[in-house]
Structure 1
């Protein structure tokens, strides 16, 4: 009975197969990321643990774990009791030979993820072995993901969100084979598929290679075959695809026939044809593994960049009172800073025997004091600068109104505000000051004026003014411009088109120089170079959306904010 799943196995089957592959080669494959699925994820972890040698440890690592608990450090109680430094084992070292589970991995800080990644790379902590298979649970919403340091070092990414609970048969420990050979054509198929799918990470094809070797070993073979490569490509490369592969080049009918060499080249041509057939089969398997919505995103060139953190979230800032814990540092608790009692005691403990003449059971000096650190996200402000001029003003304003309402519906969760600037006639007007109130927005947007000239420079300048004011209040601004890019009213109110275009470009360049995030939505029926040129000057993402409705605009804006 083979352990290799059929090419069209479900997500749960893929997860269970990935668990057995990880059990066979935990160091080489690193582990997996499981998104959604609820209790099914625990079943996959149980299957992974059962496939490891008997007695394999399992440890859970919370997202806000400190360095001492993660990597080991001073054992405070034992040090105070014995009067000399004594170390404690960290959770990663305690999980050596087993599984480390990361619940809510999307909330893990980059620094903690980097330390876990370093242990995965080295396989040890201060000389002590720490060879673990990591399973990260991704409980975030659509726009959240674990830190990139983890994503890059875990071979498998599987979404169990659409899987239904079902009984899972208990697994058996996997036996490690002596060696598995990889033919050259299999190596070329893996590398060629990674290239065709636009995967630029060197780890991905290495993960695929090791997964193919593990699949062959689980099937009782010592040579990698086509089925093993298909499994590896489906589980490792397909989730990492960033583009649709180019169609195969068509053979030219007028190509001259090959020279007659007496049949000596027949074997070479047959070998080349066999390799091409293998590449086609493997690539077809990778494409079949992509979900439909991913295929649509790839075809539209709008793949998400899951780099950790919420899409559209504000800048990260250090805080003295609240937020995500960042650990402690040496310092005096003044000016609102909070004392970290445990870290202070940990710093003082090794010196107690030398401070025996002091008063009190624990003798603390100024140099021992440590303060707590936190990180918060700044509130965001999305500023819509909408072209309300011309005959299509009503449609553009209706689209903007719908997008504003969709963004405001998420305002409470994402700590976001929205503002709206409309430019028409001879000037720009702030129709909706920064707000997170959906009721206020609907009341202000009930009737919007339209028609007249296009003072694009004035609209961009007004949006930049709102953005800079938001920065002074600690918010992170993002400007969304909706226009066809054809300015015809200059900054001084004149109607000279050339001057109006120069002023608009200067205003766009000012936004770019201020390093304000922006997206330029070109609403013209046929995108023209003016819009792309203004987007380039702003440093903005250019989005030609001639027939975008509110939902499409909302998706485009949130995707642009994630870049």
Structure 2
């Protein structure tokens, strides 16, 4: 085993070399028990470092074990198994064909660009990892194949990209990160294929003492690792580490290795600091003329074969796990949810002409729909023998008989564009408070929308009207120009601004895009929907319009431009069913992250 990487404050091992050593240790444990550990989550971009790691993986695995690569757009029939179309057409009866996962039984499946894996494929892969078999019942066939395998999910995403699908991530015990590792940091592999072979033979006999198991579970609790599966993975990793070291009974070092590779990457908090122990109080002085006390009996001598206390062992395992945490990991974990919910994309919707294939349906190719020839032949194949006899009786002879009921149309799905609609309060109160800063924040958000290829629209309301300054467009220059020329002053017709935003959002939805409304206001309305003055009625009209946002299920963010967080803006966000941010406490970067983190509606 390689040495443990240095902690965040240590300079003994450079960060890149420590990352490689950590990935090499994870590789060795995975090679010992691929299926028991489920798999390995490898964060690494394409390049020489990842290629070297994969070459070491191939060198450690037995030569007769399959090592298969999962294509990104693989069909379910090829993944799980299905009808063998050429054999079925040749024999005139259904013939089953094993899928890629069944072909990888007893080996390892590599998943490139795992962060882009669809939720459906991730769920199917997770189900196979759980059951170690594949069931196939379709097209008149019923088959079951064993599929005991391990998965290496290669995550090539950046900080702003989507995270690994949760269904797959929860089933991968080991984690390694090579993003900060260079070619100069690569070291020769300390584990050999012979050691892995011997460890596999020893693994069924490895035992884990109860005190070590308790310490692992306590470490998971202290680090905020809640899933029970993570503790089970840590136990399997401890047994693999012991087998690799040649131990039939797991030791403290084996548990530390497992905590560093399994639990530490999942940490959501640091363990609580121990409370300062209070100094013992001095015993009271005996009163005068008191009889002398007999000396206390000495405590029994400790035996040399006593086992360490479970709490002390847990503390040492926790320290080993915390020492392996890279600097800034916990801060990155806190922002992981916002990054995984990035707003670069709209909702998924069906598309007849373009998009990603998600299956087929029965139908005729009309209205731009595409005929799926392979699936059409697959539907017709089981009936060929019967149809040939019927055609021969009528004097017709042809090799393949396809009926109208066999026709299959490709089902395509694509993500709709996102249109971010900025609704700006340009009234006198906002101009007095933060109109200039609100314009600056919008300009920075506009640049972020341009990077995400979102369309942007701008609505401003002041005086007695709401005006569409910029219809949805991708022109960053036009958006900045209309903001720069926007004056401030007058009353606050908040209800009219919300009504204009609802109309524009409806237009965006009819065009197939997903609208996201960002409202910048202090929430203090004083002009009614009819254009008359009156604060009470104006606020009532504004809240009524806000409730229509919730009814329409529109995604909205209210940015409070008041000098201090205002109750009116908070209430407005609650009635809209949207999120709330206060501009004085959120810089442009925070607002950009807030817009990205807004939940997108799903396709119906």
Measured after TM superposition, the shift of residue 11 of structure 1 is 2.6
Measured after TM superposition, the shift of residue 76 of structure 1 is 1.8
Alignment counterpart, residue 122 of structure 1, candidates 117, 128, 131: 131
Question: 542-551 vs 71-80, which deviates more?
Answer: 542-551
Cα 1:313–1:22 change in 2 (3 A) is same
SS, match of residue 356 in structure 1: helix
What does 1:485-500 align with in structure 2 at a 5 Å threshold? 485-493=523-531, 496-500=534-538
Measured after TM superposition, the shift of residue 22 of structure 1 is 1.6
Structure possessing the higher radius of gyration over alpha carbons? 2
Measured after TM superposition, the shift of residue 393 of structure 1 is 1.1
Question: 392-401 vs 247-256, which deviates more?
Answer: 247-256
SS, match of residue 461 in structure 2: strand
2: CA distance between counterparts of 1:449 and 1:511?
27
Measured after TM superposition, the shift of residue 192 of structure 1 is 3.7
Does residue 1:169 correspond to 2:207, yes or no?
Answer: no
Cα 1:355–1:328 change in 2 (3 A) is same
SS, match of residue 62 in structure 2: coil
Alignment counterpart, residue 330 of structure 2, candidates 289, 292, 295: 295
What does 1:15-414 align with in structure 2 at a 5 Å threshold? 15-39=23-47, 40-126=49-135, 127-141=144-158, 142-166=160-184, 167=186, 169=188, 172-173=192-193, 174=196, 175-176=199-200, 177=202, 178-241=204-267, 243-245=268-270, 247-248=272-273, 250=275, 274-297=309-332, 301-304=334-337, 311-357=343-389, 358=391, 359-388=397-426, 389=430, 390-411=432-453
2: CA distance between counterparts of 1:499 and 1:249?
57
Contact kept? 1:423, 1:455, Cα under 8 Å: yes
Measured after TM superposition, the shift of residue 303 of structure 1 is 3.4
2: CA distance between counterparts of 1:311 and 1:264?
66
SS, match of residue 448 in structure 1: coil
Measured after TM superposition, the shift of residue 294 of structure 1 is 3.9
SS, match of residue 216 in structure 1: helix
1: CA distance between counterparts of 2:179 and 2:152?
16
Match of residue 293 from structure 2: none
Measured after TM superposition, the shift of residue 352 of structure 1 is 2.2
2: CA distance between counterparts of 1:86 and 1:472?
46
2: CA distance between counterparts of 1:547 and 1:214?
49
Measured after TM superposition, the shift of residue 83 of structure 1 is 2.8
1: CA distance between counterparts of 2:361 and 2:478?
44
Q: Deviations over 1:167-223 (max 9, x none)?
A: 553552312223333344443443344344444433222222222332232222334
1: CA distance between counterparts of 2:584 and 2:98?
60
1: CA distance between counterparts of 2:581 and 2:456?
20
Q: Deviations over 1:494-527 (max 9, x none)?
A: 5544444444333332212221112233344443
- Provide TM-score, normalisation by structure 2: 0.81
Match of residue 288 from structure 2: none
Contact kept? 1:485, 1:530, Cα under 8 Å: yes
SS, match of residue 413 in structure 2: strand
Q: Deviations over 1:251-301 (max 9, x none)?
A: 6969999xxx9999999xxx9995555444444554454444443345xx5
Contact kept? 2:434, 2:562, Cα under 8 Å: no
Gaps of 5+ in 1: none
Cα 1:82–1:297 change in 2 (3 A) is closer
2: CA distance between counterparts of 1:556 and 1:311?
9
Contact kept? 1:32, 1:134, Cα under 8 Å: yes
2: CA distance between counterparts of 1:256 and 1:3?
48
Measured after TM superposition, the shift of residue 470 of structure 1 is 1.1
Does residue 1:445 correspond to 2:453, yes or no?
Answer: no
2: CA distance between counterparts of 1:285 and 1:509?
52
SS, match of residue 560 in structure 1: coil
SS, match of residue 433 in structure 2: coil
2: CA distance between counterparts of 1:484 and 1:279?
52
Measured after TM superposition, the shift of residue 493 of structure 1 is 4.4
Measured after TM superposition, the shift of residue 100 of structure 1 is 0.9
Cα 1:143–1:6 change in 2 (3 A) is closer
Alignment counterpart, residue 548 of structure 1, candidates 566, 571, 586: 586
1: CA distance between counterparts of 2:36 and 2:228?
14
Measured after TM superposition, the shift of residue 233 of structure 1 is 3.2
2: CA distance between counterparts of 1:372 and 1:263?
85
Contact kept? 2:464, 2:493, Cα under 8 Å: yes
Q: How many residues align?
A: 549
Contact kept? 2:2, 2:21, Cα under 8 Å: no
1: CA distance between counterparts of 2:487 and 2:320?
53
